[in-house]
Amino acid sequence: MSDALRLRVLTATEVLLEDEELRWVKAQLADGAPIGIYPGHAPLLAEVVPSLLRYADRQGEHTREVRRGVLYVREDQVTVFTEHLPEPETALEADEEAAATERRFDRLVRELWEMLELEPTGE
């Protein structure tokens, strides 16, 4: 038995996270219960839900977003098999996408008013 954990988060095509010398790992299980895994944990196979996977090393606590998947614990190794998670958007990209969506919506509303041959009332 080791005094540290090894964590791997995998998809079918890539390794999303690989870390060693961890003090603990915490995940949200599909039955609604959170679980804390420490060195020496019993073998486990469980379903995880979309959530933040939390883990700690000597420098502090860290998080990694995971989608639904399977958690496997064996001999101080924690492996999470999950779906691919797209890269997070930057704030600027999110703002630009929101503005483009709003422009499309406004255009569709104007077209609908024109099709109904009505005058818009309001702003």
Going residue by residue through the chain (123 aa), what tens digit of pLDDT does each one get? Answer: 578 999 999 988 889 999 999 999 999 999 989 999 999 999 999 999 999 999 999 999 999 989 889 999 999 999 999 987 655 556 666 677 777 777 876 777 777 777 776 555 555
**Residues with Cβ within 8 Å of residue 29, at least 6 apart in sequence:** 35, 46, 47, 48, 49, 71
pLDDT per residue over 93-103, tens digit each?
667 777 777 78
- Is there a single domain that holds both residue 20 and residue 60? yes
**Statement to judge: residues 76 and 94 lie in one domain:** no
Q: Domain check: are 109 and 64 in the same one?
A: no
Q: What is the pTM of this model?
A: 0.67
23 and 40, same domain (yes or no): yes
Question: Does one domain contain both 78 and 93?
Answer: no
Domain limits at 66? 5-82
Q: Domains in the chain: how many in total?
A: 2
Which residue from 10, 50, 8 is spatially nearest to 27, judged by alpha carbons? 50
